[in-house]
Amino acid sequence: MSDEKDLKTLKDDETSATPQAAGFFEDGSNSSTDDEKLSAENVDSNEELDRDNILTQYNEEQVMDMGRNYARKNGMDQDLFAKAAAVARNPIGFNRMPFLSQEEKEALHHEREHPFRLPFKMWYLIIVCSMGAAVQGMDESVINGADLFWPDHFGIGSDSQRDTWLEGLVNSAPYLACSCISCWLADPLNKAFGRKWTIFITCFISAAACFWQGFVNTWWHLFIARFFLGFGIGPKSATIPVYAAECAPARIRGALVMMWQMWTAFGIMFGYALSLAFYYVPGRGIGDDLNWRLMLGSAMIPAVLCCAQIPPCPESPRWLMGRDRHQDAFNSLKILRNHELQAARDCFYQYVLFLEEESYGLSYLQKVKELFKVRRNRNAALGSWIVMFMQQFCGINVIAYYSSSIFVDSDFSTLHAMIASWGFGMVNFVFALPAVFSIDRFGRRNLLLFGFPLMSGFLLMAGFAFWIPEDHKSARVGVISLGIYLFSIVYSFSEGPVPFTYSAECHQLAVRDVGMSFATATCWFFNFILSLTWPSMLVAFKSQGGFGWYAAWNIVGFFLVLWFLPETKGLTLEELDDVFSIPTYEHALYQTKNILRNFKVYILRRKNVEPLPPLYKHQRMAVTNTVWEEKGEAEHIE
């Protein structure tokens, strides 16, 4: 392997770095001797170092030697990378580094004070990633308006069991392809073509499939075209967030991951808008059905624009390092950062993390085994599966895919139903904006515990409104619309942004790619189930029963989160190990006791209710109660 050669060469080139430092690059271990740790602590006694930074176990001189050796081996500026390595080890202590020039210190200070003042090329890349997310949203939403027309055109528009299942099968075809095939192709596509060209390929597939949908002549022909569309949706959803994260500066990385959800919501809204725009288009040469064909085909426009914008984008530095192209990785970072020192710092630290990841040396099957065998990994996977499953079974995509049909059933005219659907998309997009700030302010778990009961109540509100007599049409449609819009508002800042954020941060590095693959497959599989079953459920349960079904699942989701989903906000890697190493039954029992205690304190207003001892090691270390401090500590899994 190329990285094994890199490690050997780096060790052979070692001149002034300690043997321990060379050993770090040799086996990727993040362990160090007591002497090294003491040395690092003495050097930095007045500095606050990030415990998650694996370079902090070495002192400044050692990491500077590592930077020189890395630069020498790859034909780059050794002095620059020596300084960059020191800054990578201690990003906030640059003012105390005498070897940095005033210009370099000012650049680092400016980066911390103004994290969103980025070079043009970085903003260009953000725009491309945002457009890719919008393509995703349009691919999902244009079927909403077309669903009012195409089933009747192809002779499957009745309420018979056969027709409703066929309608659901056609609508859900892309998500069947995603869950079974295409999302598992993301890794081989990325390895073969790189991040940006994988995005190009998937956007091209999306454009071709959308164009194809406009010319189908049978329901099964439309099914094939939409199944093919899934090959554009699946790998793109797994690649764009990773590409943005690997190219973005660390301080805005989380915000860019959140933008995937926000701009997908924008694409959903724009898909509704185009469906509305094509509503009155008359038939021209293809019978009287040109309008729904244009609705389905319109999603190719942003996909083509995205394809045209991708070639000037730089490739992911992380991918280039995996191909042993370190000079190219550095050049890529230079055009994505405001200063050469920032680019060198990120290049060096990304390589350190790359070696750490490669050091595990696990095959794909071994990673799958570790995911299920090790309690820490298993509990993290369970948490990510819960949030991905509930993102679908909270009921949001029933409305996203079928809102026009739902509004027609509530006595809207066809045109007014499409306008109401556009309003739903607008609400979903606008209220996704606060999620960028709320998810880190209030925490993932708290947002879900707050959101699920409200979403359940608003779904019941919308569902029960279908019992309002039809002679009170204004009240009927008003309450249904209000319930759906309020449900969308709560979803947008709770269950909407949490799943991908939580899944990306809960897994250990050794199994992170496998964990994310399983989480994404879970999301798409239950998306398929939901899309497939709703038309038949609507016939069997009526609107009241269908909304009630998903309202009940929101209550289930509340208890799943309460019992099985630890909080991850602001935790270090060591603290995450501690949190996910707690046995599941202990976590569920503790949270049950805690909610009963809170009921006594805040509802029954009882006084002198004893607080529960902290569940996690890092919480017990932060309190002063000597009884809790004396309790034994369970070792977390390293």
**Over the stretch 2-58, which tens digit does the pLDDT of each residue have?**
444 443 444 344 333 333 343 444 433 333 444 444 444 444 444 556 656 778 888
Checking if the pLDDT of 564 tops 80, the result is yes
pLDDT of residue 562: 93
The mean of the pLDDT values for the chain is: 83
CA–CA distance, 170 with 178 (Å, rounded to integer): 14
The pLDDT score that the predictor gives to residue 185 is 87
Q: Which helix (H) or strand (E) holds 457?
A: helix 444-464
Both tokens assigned to 51? 């415990």
Structural domain for 593, as ranges: 582-629
Q: Are residues 202 and 307 in the same domain?
A: yes
Res 40: pLDDT: 44
Are both 560 and 458 inside the same structural domain?
A: yes
**Does residue 509 sit in the same domain as residue 419?**
yes
In a domain, 328, yes or no: no
> Is residue 397 a part of any domain in this protein?
yes
CA angle 413, 414, 415 (to 5 degrees): 90
Distance CA 436, CA 425 (A): 18
3-class DSSP assignment, residue 288: strand
Q: How far is CA 569 from CA 116, 315, 575, in A?
A: 22, 30, 11
Is residue 68 scored above 90 in pLDDT? Answer: yes
Mean pLDDT of 202-206: 95
Q: Return the H-helix or E-strand segment holding 310.
A: none
- Whether residues 204 and 300 fall in one domain: yes
Average pLDDT over residues 98-104: 90
| pLDDT above 60 (res 488) | yes
Average pLDDT over residues 499-528: 85
Q: Examine the domain organization and report whether 438 and 417 are in the same domain.
A: yes
Total residues belonging to the chain: 638
Q: By the 8 A CB rule, do 508 and 376 touch?
A: yes
The answer, yes or no, to whether residue 69 has pLDDT greater than 90, is yes
Residues 6+ away with beta carbon under 8 Å from 559: none
Question: What residue has token string 């090294």?
Answer: 36
The reported pLDDT for the residue numbered 625 is 42
For the cut 60, the answer to whether the pLDDT of residue 284 exceeds it is no
- Per-residue model confidence (pLDDT) at position 360: 62
CB atoms within 10 A of CB 615: 18
Q: Which residue has the higher pLDDT, 186 or 82?
A: 82
Tokens encoding 435: 């999620």
Same domain for 165 and 71: no
Residue of 257, 264, 261, 198 whose CA lies nearest to 231:
198
The reply to whether 546 falls in a domain is: yes
**249 vs 611: CA distance, rounded Å:** 41
Residue 511: predicted pLDDT: 82
- Compute the Cα dihedral for 234, 130, 572, 111 and give only its sign: positive
Structure tokens at 462: 């919308």
In a domain, 336, yes or no: no
Residue type, 604: L
pLDDT for the residue numbered 634 = 33
Cα–Cα dist 227/240, whole Å: 21
411 vs 333, higher pLDDT = 333
Q: How far apart are CA 506 and CA 103, in angstroms?
A: 38
| Rounded CA Rg of the chain | 27
Q: What sign for the dihedral angle of Cα 61, 65, 70, 75?
A: positive
HSE at residue 200, side-chain half, CA atoms within 13 A, is 14
Can you give the pLDDT at residue 261?
Answer: 81
Check if the beta carbon of residue 513 is closer than 8 Å to that of residue 583: no
The torsion angles phi and psi of 249, rounded to 5 degrees, stand at -60, 150
Which domain-ending residue is among 562, 581, 600?
A: 581
pLDDT of amino acid 624 = 42
| 255 compared with 455, residue with greater pLDDT | 455
- Residue 361, domain member (yes or no): no
CATH number at residue 566: 1.20.1250.20
Residue pLDDT, tens place only, 233-254: 989 988 888 888 888 887 777 7
363 located within any domain: no
Q: Which residues are within 8 A (CB) of 466 and not within 5 positions of it... i.e. 6 or more apart? A: 409, 410, 476, 480, 542, 543, 544, 547
Distance (Å, rounded) from C-alpha 173 to C-alpha 226?
Answer: 6
**Backbone phi, psi, residue 288, to 5°:** -110, 35
Check whether residue 522 and residue 595 sit in a common domain: no
561 and 608 belong to one structural domain:
no
Residue where a domain terminates, one of 53, 88, 113 = 113
154 close to 222: Cβ distance less than 8 angstroms? yes
Q: What is the pLDDT of residue 19?
A: 31
Tokens found for residue 327: 């000079």
> Any idea what DSSP says for residue 286?
B
Q: For Cα atoms 227, 233, 239, give the angle at the middle one, nearest 5 degrees.
A: 145
The answer to whether residues 384 and 528 belong to one domain is yes
- Amino acid in position 368: V
Residue 342 in tokens:
């920032």
Which residue among 272, 288, 313 closes a domain? Answer: 313
CB neighbours (10 Å) of residue 188? Answer: 11
| 325 CB-near residues (< 8 Å, 6+ apart) | none
pLDDT at 414: 85
pLDDT score recorded for residue 630:
38
Residue 220 lies in a domain: yes
pLDDT at residue 619 is higher than 70: no
Q: Which stretch, 185-194, 213-222, 365-374, has highest mean pLDDT?
A: 213-222
3-state secondary structure of 477: helix
What is the full DSSP assignment across 269-314? Answer: HHHHHHHHHTTTPPP-SBTB-HHHHHHHHTTHHHHHHHHHHSTTSP
Q: Does residue 190 share a domain with residue 88?
A: no
What pLDDT does 48 receive?
A: 56
For the record, the structure tokens of 515 come out as 């964990």
Residues 591, 546 within the same domain: no
Exposure of 176 in the CB half-sphere (CA atoms within 13 A) = 16
Shared domain for 289 and 271, answered yes or no, is yes
CB 92 within 8 A of CB 48: yes
Q: Which of 240-249, 273-282, 354-363 has the lowest mean pLDDT?
A: 354-363
Share of residues in the chain with pLDDT > 70 (%): 86
Decide: 184 and 521 in contact? Cβ < 8 Å.
yes
Nearest-5° angle of CA 314, CA 317, CA 320? 100
Non-local CB neighbours of 343 within 8 Å, separated by 6+ positions? 330, 333, 334, 336, 337
Q: How many CB atoms lie within 10 A of CB 6?
A: 21
Overall number of domains in the chain: 4
Within a domain: residue 333? no
Q: Mind listing the pLDDT tens digit for each residue in 567-597?
A: 888 776 667 888 888 899 988 998 898 888 8
366-415 pLDDT per residue, tens: 888 888 998 999 999 999 999 999 999 999 999 988 888 889 888 888 88
